[in-house]
Amino acid sequence: MFRTIFSVGILAILGLFALKFVFGIFGWLVALLLWLFFIALKIALVGAVIYLIIRVVSPDTARRLREKFNG
């Protein structure tokens, strides 16, 4: 039982050191990737809204767009 508790504690400490290393040394890279992810998410949401509007207003145009991009 003590060995299990000790090994969980060691793994937790190693995990904390790994997080400190990743966010300390590569913090700018993580921030850049998160920034790019949120920009891509905003673009995808705007595209989805535009497609939804086109689908409601003109279903035939939406069908042609879907065929064009899906192959």
Condensed to tens digits (0 to 9), the pLDDT of residues 17-59 reads 988 888 888 888 888 999 999 999 999 999 999 999 999 998 9
At 4, is the pLDDT very low, low, confident or very high (cuts 50, 70, 90)?
Answer: confident
Q: Are 50 and 36 in contact (CB under 8 A)?
A: no
H helix and E strand count, the chain:
3, 0
pTM confidence score: 0.58
Rounded Cα distance between 30 and 22, Å, is: 8
The one-letter amino acid code at 29 reads: L
Q: What is the reported pLDDT for 65?
A: 85
Q: Is 69 exposed, middle or buried (0-12, 13-18, 19+ CB in 10 A)?
A: exposed
Residue length of the chain? 71
